[in-house]
A and B are shown apart, each in its own frame.
Chain A
Amino acid sequence: MGVRLARAAVVAIALAGVLGGSIAHATTAEDRFRAANALARHADYPKAIAAYDELARSGFESAALYWNWAQAAAARGATGEALWALLRARELDPGDRAVRRDIERLREGANLDRAEIAPEPLAALARWTRRFRLDLVAVVLMAASLAAHAWLRWRRWAPRLANLTWATLVLGLLAAVVPAVGSLARPTGAVVRRGAALLDAASPTAEALGTLREGEVVPILETSGTYVRVEDSSGARGWALTDDVRSLTAAPGRRERAGY
């Protein structure tokens, strides 16, 4: 009995430590976010951006974080970086109207065509999925159809239940098609530096084939170390530094998923 009590006490203390640490960590993230905002308000944009970057790399990503990052980058004159931050915010919260509005404003300011910031049409389906939670809708509908079908089989005959089964199944499958197709979109990245070089190889000694347009969104075909292989809107393919082309589909500091 005494041993059991001691074990329970140890488990309770450990749980309390973990929960307390998480809460403290979250509090620290909020504090760091506010500190970064203060830096931005005092026009210390490089430090503010560095603080936002650190937060994102720590896993505390949110549309608000990238929104503020974009404001600081825009004030600093880094159009490409601001556009990237807003596009990343849109990835996290596709329903944010302010983000969409600022993306349009920056796009026009950078003389970019709509197609130049949306090279992957399937990516829009993925955003629709996230915006309208079509993934959860599909799962709920399919689960309901299964439950109705099971009820129908093992209980009594009910014509209305059969219709419900069919309807939920069809709707669930339709809802599941959108995220499934959206997941086929290639990963993309935004050019954040003016005059970013398009290289002929993923090597420090590579020669420049040309330059990428600041703010342009390009599909990421392959990754190799600190280089990504991209294709610009003119169809030219080459390698670029990950510092010049930042991923829109992966958080900062995380490796892009394998290319196609």
Chain B
Amino acid sequence: MSAHRPSSTRRLPRLALAAGVAVTLVCAVACPRAEAAIRSEVDATRIGLEDQLQLTITVDGASAPNQVPPPPLGNLRVVGGPSVSTQVSLVNGSLSQSRSWTYWLQPAAAGQAEVGAVRVRVGSNEETAPAIAIEVVAGSVKPRRPARRAMDPFAQDPLDELFGRPRGRVAEPRVFVEARPSRTSLYVGEPLLLTYSIYTQASVSGLEFGNAPQFGGFWVEDLTPPPNGSGEPATVEGIGYRRFTVMLKLLFPTKAGRLTIPPISVRLAMSRQSLFDAGFVAERSTKPITVEVKPIPDTPGFSGAVGRFKTSSAVDRPNLALGEAATLRFKVEGSGNLKWIDRAPDVSVTGAKVYPPQTKSDLKTQPTGIVGSRTWEFVVVPQTAGMLEIPALRFSYFDPAAGRILESETAPLPLRVEGGTPGAMIPAPPAGTGLARPTGGPLALRADLEARSPGALSLPGGMVGLLAGACLLLHAGLWGAGPLARRFAGARSPAGRAGPRRDVRGVLRDLERVGRDGMSKEKAAGLIERTIHGVFGSLDDAEDERGRAVRQLLEDVQLVRYAPQLGEYSERLRELAARAGEVVRKWA
């Protein structure tokens, strides 16, 4: 309550609350008690946009549920809670019980807001508390007051006025959050355990991270915090707390230098301490942490591993037949940043082909680092019979304790290959090269340049396609040229002399029909005559050799045609058809 508030006004809620308590107690004794009753109350029905509204839902009765769903909210959002409190009282031998859930609400915009109806199922009945309308105005209209005393009717102790001296107030519970690194100086790739803890003197009912933790320059692994229970006692600057570990991170610096872990903010919902305490929401932040990261040497062949490791290698089949494959397993185990290491060791076996490896990991993240093993499996296919040797495989890592790069080396492994003539089946590839030359002799070089290769004068495919198109066009032109030429020749022929009207191939086909299929001499001669006329037209005036030849042929044909049927004319007709064919070929 405000210190400037008139005393009468200050007393009013207290008196009202005292009266309410009295009525409740009277009712509890005098009336038959109901199974359960639900109330929904707010600390104000007119608030400012900057104010917070406190909503308390109370269920009276022995059968009060453990949870009450939050009511639907209009133009309001939950910024804290719920904090739960249970009150048990024994009055005149009668036990009464109530349970309260308190929310802190923030209006979203000026105007009307509403806390919706609260419905709770108690046994077979559903109890309902009505909705509450809230008016939201700009700014702040609620008097500023310490949040923890929101419902405390004894915030101003009446005995202070009675005795003329203030009584000591209950101290506000202390709470803070801390980020604690396991070390502040380490090497690149070395693990750092970062523990986030809450130190509190009161119970915390809710926790919310205000901003997501940022760890620039680190590779982060999450760890599960240990079960806190009721926390562990801790003393900071002479003050006692309960410490709860809320988050564990395992950080691996990825670069050298001075790295900073920025602070994170946490919102803590503190439970009420007494019947008249509503609890409060506290915002706390960690302090930034600066870490000195030392570089690790970068030497050729260094794997990048940091920690303590040991290596081993094994082959599944030390004895095998030529044509079979063996599996070589190279295992690195220990504690450190093994999850980072992907590069397989270089494996080269003289007389065998080694295929790229498969990687298998069995790693666990622990507070001390990543512990486990990583195995590379190589398939080795011998190319020759005999005794082969898988060479020693090396793995270099940086040991932070020693401060230098150490090397772990496996023992060479023998590989006995049986079958065929030793060293004669498939030539062994030279170590270190991916190419297997059939012989190790001189190069099979060609002596002459032969700069004119057979393919050098080839035509482009597109050009060939164009030529094919042009060829088709020319063929089409040739096909069209014949009739055009005949038409052109016909147009130029002298008056009274008709040009050839039929094409030569059709004429010759007609002439071949003469004398076939029992054709009569009149019909056969008529066919020849029509054909000749069809080809040459009228040549009555033509005095040239062609005209004379055609006229002579026609006369002979007509002679046969109109002669009486005195004998067999088929031979004569075939002769005339042949003559006609010659005339056509020669003169048409």
Contacts and interface: CB of A to CB of B under 8 A. Distances in A.
A82 B435 contact: yes
Nearest to B465: A180
Contacts of B458: 129-130, 133, 135-136, 179
A94 B449 CA distance: 17
A60 B481 CA distance: 48
Contacts of B460: 179, 183
B454 interface: yes
Contact of A75 (B437, B455, B504): B437
A105 B434 CA distance: 12
Listed from nearest, the 9 A-B pairs whose CB atoms lie closest are: A183-B461, A180-B465, A77-B433, A179-B461, A130-B455, A176-B468, A64-B446, A142-B471, A135-B459
B434 A79 contact: yes
A149 B442 CA distance: 59
Contacts of A177: 468
A105 B437 CA distance: 9
Contact of B585 (A79, A143, A156): A156
A75 B443 contact: yes
Contacts of A79: 433-435
Contacts of A111: 355
A138 B470 CA distance: 13
B471 A157 contact: no
Contacts of A115: none
Interface string A95-134: 1000000000110011100000000000000100111010
Interface of B: 355, 429, 432-438, 442-456, 458-465, 467-468, 471-472, 474-475, 478-479, 481-482, 504-505, 508, 585
A65 interface: yes
Given A110-B434, A139-B464, A157-B508, A71 B448 contact: no
B455 to A, nearest CB: 4
A245 interface: no
A77 B468 contact: no
Given A135-B458, A179-B459, A64 B450 contact: yes
Contact of B461 (A29, A30, A62, A181): A181
Given A64-B449, A176-B464, A157 B585 contact: yes
26 contacts: A40-B445, A41-B442, A55-B449, A61-B456, A68-B446, A71-B444, A79-B433, A79-B435, A94-B455, A95-B454, A105-B438, A106-B435, A130-B454, A130-B455, A133-B458, A135-B464, A138-B467, A139-B464, A139-B467, A146-B471, A146-B474, A169-B471, A173-B472, A179-B464, A183-B464, A183-B465
A93 interface: yes
Given A72-B443, A92-B456, A149-B475, A157 B504 contact: yes
Contacts of A173: 468, 471-472
B449 A29 contact: yes
A74 B474 CA distance: 52
A95 to B, nearest CB: 7
A176 B432 CA distance: 48
A91 to B, nearest CB: 7
B461 A60 contact: no
Interface in A29-85: 29-30, 33-34, 37, 40-41, 55, 60-65, 67-68, 71-72, 74-75, 77, 79, 82
Most buried by B among A63, A143, A194: A63
- Do most interface residues of chain A lie in helix, strand or loop, or is the interface mixed? helix
Contacts of B468: 138, 142, 172-173, 176-177, 180
A92 B453 contact: yes
Interface residues of A, number: 65
Contacts of B456: 61, 92
A77 to B, nearest CB: 4
A109 B436 contact: yes
Interface in A155-191: 156-157, 169, 172-173, 176-177, 179-184
A15 interface: no
Nearest to B453: A92
Given A67-B445, A74-B435, A177-B468, 18 more contacts: A29-B449, A41-B442, A60-B449, A61-B453, A64-B448, A65-B449, A92-B456, A95-B454, A105-B438, A109-B436, A135-B464, A173-B471, A179-B458, A179-B461, A179-B465, A180-B468, A183-B462, A214-B434
Nearest to B462: A183
A37 B461 contact: no
B464 A62 contact: no
Contacts of B455: 91-94, 130-131
Interface in A171-221: 172-173, 176-177, 179-184, 194, 214
A176 B464 CA distance: 6
A11 interface: no
A80 B394 CA distance: 28
A255 interface: no
Given A75-B437, A79-B435, A61 B451 contact: yes
Contacts of B449: 29-30, 33, 55, 60, 62, 64-65
Nearest to A67: B446
Contacts of B481: 153
A150 interface: yes
A41 B443 contact: yes
Contacts of B447: 34, 37
A13 to B, nearest CB: 27
Nearest to A36: B445
Contacts of A142: 467-468, 471
A81 to B, nearest CB: 10
A242 interface: no
B461 A182 contact: yes
A182 B459 CA distance: 12
Contacts of A24: none
A17 B351 CA distance: 59
A71 B465 contact: no
Contacts of B475: 145-146, 149, 169
A26 interface: yes
Contacts of B355: 111
